[in-house]
Amino acid sequence: MRARPAAVAAVTSLCFASPADATPKRGTFVQTDTLGMNVVSYNFDTGKTTTAGDVAALSEFLGVHYFVLDGLRIGLNFQFSEYLTQPKPGQRRLATFAALPQIGWHFWGPLFAALVFTLAPWTGGGPEHDLGVQAVFGGAYKLGRVSLTGAIEVPYNFLVARTIGLTPLLGISIKL
């Protein structure tokens, strides 16, 4: 029960942080390192819902972003996802490799949103191409040149199969 007041304090400080102090400025480069796991996805073609209990893959996102205007960034992340559950026969442990070009907007202090495009030459544990888009919404807690980030991502992929999912993300960004 002691964690509850600490969590409330952290969320409150994130939501009421000064927008002037938290908005990244034009000309700033940041490096991002993020971990995430798709916790649920729905396949529109098969009507099947899959959870992390069925197939678990941990994703790491590594990227660099540039602020073209105060609060507006463009960037590129690379995604590496590895199966934590036993892959199916014929699949490799590397579940996904993708390039993720994106545009993001820090719209109020620590809060941000991003539109991400998925260009994946490796999906499903093998050399299968997929395309998609992702909506991301999150917040950052600034600690000097470093920000701790938390976000929710909603990926929609459509080339291999039409799927939508939900991925919580935790990360760090470093002002270069």
Which tokens go with 61? Answer: 């996102």
Domain extent for 90: 3-175
- Determine how β-strand 130-143 pairs with β-strand 111-122: antiparallel
Which tokens go with 144? Answer: 């000097």
pTM: 0.85
pLDDT in tens, 121-136: 999 999 999 999 999 9
Mean pLDDT confidence for 127-151 = 96
Q: Which CATH number fits the domain that encloses residue 85? A: 2.40.160.20
Any idea which residue has 């950052």 for tokens? 140
Please count the structural domains in the chain: 1
Residue/partner pairs of 89-94 with CB below 8 Å, 24 or more apart: 90/125, 90/126, 91/124, 91/125, 91/126, 92/125, 92/126, 93/125, 94/122, 94/125
